[in-house]
Amino acid sequence: MNFLEFDAQDRAIVNRLQNGLPLVLHPYAAVAEELGVSEEELLARLTRLRDSGVLSRFGPMYHAERMGGGLTLAALAVPEADYERVVEILNNVPEVAHNYRREHTLNMWFVLATESSERIPQVVTDIEVATGLPVFNMPKEREFYVRVHLSV
Amino acid sequence: MMTATPLARVNDCQQLNAPCAHSKLRALLEQGLPLTPHPWQVLAEQCGLEEAEVMGCVKRWREEKLIKRLGLVVRHRRLGIDANAMVVWNVPDELVTRVGQALAKETIVTLCYRRPRRLPDWPFNLFCMIHGVKREAVMAQLETLVERLGLAEIEHQVLFSQHAYRQCGGSYALRRNDELPGV
C-alpha cells in the first residue's frame, strides 16, 4: 500500500485511534459508531492497514518505569569508518529498542529498555566495552506532558 | 508496612491464583489487541480468565498508569512522515521547566524531556521531537516556534534522523514473565 491508497476514511480512523481505544466491552463498535462506519468496515480497514504495515498494532503504551523497567536515551560518536561494525554490535544487544542514525558528531542514538532499572548501567558498560566508545547516557529527568497526535 | 512494588501491584489484580494468567495477559496485550468484535473475550480465552476479569485488569492497569493508553502504533515512515527532527536546547537551569512546558504545548512537538547535560561535549538539557513530511517544512515550523516563544537566545541544534536501524516497542511483559512473583 502506498501513501495514495490511504484514503480519507483511513485517515479519519488513524487520527481517531491515536487517541486510544476506549476500554469498553466492544471497543471497535464504539469507535465505529463515533466515526459513522460499521464495525465490520472499521475492522476490515484496520486489518488492511495492519497487513500493509502502516499500523503495527493496538499496543498498550506501557509506562516503563512504573513497570519497574529501565529506559534511557543514549548516544555514541561513531567514527564513519567504524559505523557498520557498531550498528552490528548494537543490533545484537536485546535491550536496544530503537537505534537511529542522526546528523551530528553524536551520530548514533539509541533507546535502552531493560527489565529492571538497575540493569541500565550494566548494559551501558557492556556497550562501551564492545564498541570501545564512551556512551553518552541521557536518562530523562523530567517528562513534559505532550499530547502525541500526528495527523495524517 | 511493606510498600507494594509496581510489579506486586500488577499481580494483586483480582484472583488469588491469577498472577500467572495476568502476566500472560500482559504479554498478549503487548502483541496488540485482536481485531475482532470481541477482543477481550479472545484474550480471556487465551490466558484462562473471564472476559470481565480481563477488562477489569486492563482498566486497573490503565488507572494505575502502568498502561498510558491503548493506542494505535503508527509506522510514520510508511505514511511518508520521515523528517524526524530531534531538537536539543541548552536552557539555563532556572528556565528549563518553563521552556519545557511551553514546547510541550506546541502541536508540532511530539515528545519533550529534560535530560542531563554531558559536559564538555554535550551542553543540551532539553530535548523535543518534531515530526514532519519535509525537512524544509519542519525547519520553517521550528523557526516560527522559536520566534513566537522568544527562544532566539537559547542555543539549539536540530538532529535529523537519517536511518532507523531498529524500531520496536519495549517488551517488558515478555521478558518479565519468568520472574513474576508467584509464577
DSSP3 helix / strand / coil % (chain A, rounded to 5): 40, 20, 40
Over pLDDT 70: what percentage of chain B?
74
The whole-number pLDDT of residue B170 equals: 43
Mean pLDDT in residue range B84-105: 95
Which chain A residues contact residue B173 at CB under 8 A? 62
Whole-model pTM: value is 0.67
Q: A57-80: string of b/e by CB count within 10 Å (b at 16+)?
A: bbbbebbbebbbbbbbbbbbebee
Q: Taking 50 as the threshold, does the pLDDT of residue B175 lie above it? A: no
B97 touching A (Cβ < 8 Å): yes
Over pLDDT 90: what percentage of chain B?
46
Backbone φ and ψ of A6, nearest 5°: -90, 100
- Size of the A and B interface in Cβ pairs below 8 Å: 228
Decide: A118 and A69 in contact? Cβ < 8 Å: no
The whole-number pLDDT of residue B159 equals: 95
Q: Taking 70 as the threshold, does the pLDDT of residue B14 lie above it? A: no
Which chain B residues contact residue A20 at CB under 8 A? 69-71
Q: Taking 80 as the threshold, does the pLDDT of residue B53 lie above it? A: yes
The whole-number pLDDT of residue A51 equals: 84
Q: Taking 60 as the threshold, does the pLDDT of residue B11 lie above it? A: no
More confident residue, B97 or B19: B97
Nearest CB to B110 within list A67, A96, A146: A146
Residue of A nearest to B119 (CA): A136
B28, B72, B119: which to substitute to probe chain A, counting the most A Cβ within 10 Å? B72
- What are the 10-residue block averages of pLDDT along chain A, 152 residues in total? 70 84 92 95 91 72 66 96 96 90 94 89 97 97 75 62
The whole-number pLDDT of residue A65 equals: 62
Q: Taking 70 as the threshold, does the pLDDT of residue B181 lie above it? A: no
The whole-number pLDDT of residue B10 equals: 42
Mean pLDDT in residue range B22-49: 89
Q: Taking 60 as the threshold, does the pLDDT of residue B120 lie above it? A: yes
Q: Taking 50 as the threshold, does the pLDDT of residue B100 lie above it? A: yes
Task: From A66, A42, A43, A45, select the one nearest A54 (Cα to Cα).
Answer: A45
